[in-house]
Amino acid sequence: MQFDTGSTGFMLVATSLVMLMTPGLAFFYGGLVGRKNVLAIMIQSFVSMSWTTILWWAVGYSLVFSGGEGGVIGNLKYAFLAGISPSDVLSANNNVPLLVFIAYQMMFAIITPALITGAFADRVRFGAYMIFLTVWLLFVYFPVAHMVWGGGLFASWGVLDFAGGTAVHTTAGFAALASVLFVGKRKTVNSEPHNIPFVALGTSLLWFGWYGFNAGSELRVDQTTALAFLNTDIAASVAAFTWLCISWIADKKPKFIGLLTGAVAGLVAITPAAGYVSISSAVIIGLLAGIICYLAVKLKNKLHLDDALDVWGVHGVGGVLGCICTGLFASTAWNASGANGLFQGGTKFFFMETLSVLLTAVYAFCFTYAALWLINKVVKVKVDEDEESEGLDEALHGENAYEMI
């Protein structure tokens, strides 16, 4: 079998870029928390790179991408990647090695639960998190990814999610909201980022990796790859500047954190739509993301929800917004393999797109809350007050990012 070497090379690079997003997330979150909790939040991202990889090899890939046509979960036909050889191709229309696709999709599975961790920063025991990571992947991410990308229920409805608005950001964002409600507030809330350059570094790695996340989701090199790449950058840029301007007006000073957070909101919102909408639509999506996600964070603050790193406001709300915008703005004039959104006469497509993301949000929220409640019956989820005061780096891990004076 002669593989398409150009597309194969591109997909290997895209896979590497998506892998880089998880360390980028660790730096992003690590800079936002206090000095005594840097390592505790970063290890939660890095351990997903290890444990999720093992789960993906064992059962994840099979549950997402084998069997279960029109259903909610696949089967175990490819458990432990049995029956897969180096010569297997992805599909008749996409002549890249199946092994590359397996690795690429694995990187999505790795970062999704790591996104949740920003919500319960400074409060959760590592052992309880490991149990949660396992259960959440098995019962939330794998089923939803199957329904969207593995030929499952949502795919049978005609739902489109170019790179993970439903499967990644909505699941993680609403799981984060449930986590916040379950673990409650921190006793000592340090809302000031301890290292803004870390946040900038993390944002840079995320933005850079997002090109692999979105453009790579075309799974080959063609005009849609280029469209997704450009739309990703435009939406992020517009959202970043929009958030900066709003926060500048509100706070009387231009805040670097606002610019960085806005960029991530734009990246989230364009993710499900990147390869299906026009460039002008990407501008609108970026503008909406900057405004609506900013307002969601303000609402969270008004309700006194201790979503430490604004996972719900940015990823949850941004993910839902992006999917709804896909239902509004998608156009077959820009991607013949896509669909026409509401503004192009696609009423049914808009309805299914919106219904699927709302069902996902409700399911992710309810399952996460129930899972944490059950885990807490076996292993205490929340740290003690004295451990929280000491800082999780020392209390849980016996390590410190900085010399304490």
DSSP string, 237-292: HHHHHHHHHHHHHHHSS--HHHHHHHHHHHHHHHTTTTTTS-HHHHHHHHHHHHHH
Distance separating alpha carbons of residues 35 and 201, to the nearest angstrom: 17
pLDDT digits (tens, 9 = 90+) for 272-317: 999 999 999 999 999 999 999 999 999 999 999 999 889 999 999 9
pLDDT of residue 2: 82
Distance separating alpha carbons of residues 288 and 269, to the nearest angstrom: 9
Pick from 150, 162, 108: nearest CA to 329: 162
Please give the full DSSP string across 192-214, using - where no structure is assigned: S-S-HHHHHHHHHHHHHHHHHHH
pLDDT of residue 92: 83
Q: Taking 90 as the threshold, does the pLDDT of residue 348 lie above it?
A: yes
* DSSP assigned state of 315: I
The pLDDT-based confidence of 356 (bands split at 50, 70, 90) is: very high
Where do the domains of the chain lie? Answer: 5-397
The pLDDT-based confidence of 404 (bands split at 50, 70, 90) is: low
pLDDT digits (tens, 9 = 90+) for 262-273: 999 999 999 999
* DSSP assigned state of 72: S
> pTM for this one?
0.96
Distance separating alpha carbons of residues 322 and 169, to the nearest angstrom: 10
Classified as helix, coil or strand, 76 is: coil
The pLDDT-based confidence of 187 (bands split at 50, 70, 90) is: confident
Q: Taking 70 as the threshold, does the pLDDT of residue 190 lie above it?
A: no
The answer to whether residues 118 and 32 touch, using CB atoms and an 8 Å cutoff, is yes
Q: Taking 60 as the threshold, does the pLDDT of residue 3 lie above it?
A: yes
Distance separating alpha carbons of residues 279 and 202, to the nearest angstrom: 26
Distance separating alpha carbons of residues 40 and 253, to the nearest angstrom: 31
Q: How many CB atoms lie within 10 A of CB 384?
A: 12
Buried b (16+ CB within 10 A) or exposed e, 55-66: bbeebbbbbbbb
pLDDT digits (tens, 9 = 90+) for 22-61: 999 999 999 999 999 999 999 999 999 999 999 999 999 9
pLDDT of residue 405: 56
The pLDDT-based confidence of 140 (bands split at 50, 70, 90) is: very high
Distance separating alpha carbons of residues 188 and 210, to the nearest angstrom: 34
pLDDT of residue 109: 98
Q: How far from chain centre, in Å, is Cα 153?
A: 21
The answer to whether residues 323 and 357 touch, using CB atoms and an 8 Å cutoff, is yes
Q: How far is CA 123 from CA 27, 49, 92, 183, 352, in A?
A: 18, 21, 48, 7, 37
pLDDT of residue 93: 86
Distance separating alpha carbons of residues 8 and 6, to the nearest angstrom: 5
Pick from 165, 155, 182: nearest CA to 115: 165
Q: What is 5-397's CATH number?
A: 1.10.3430.10
Buried b (16+ CB within 10 A) or exposed e, 220-229: bbeebbebbb
Residues with Cβ within 8 Å of 333's Cβ and at least 6 positions away in sequence, in order, are: 278, 344
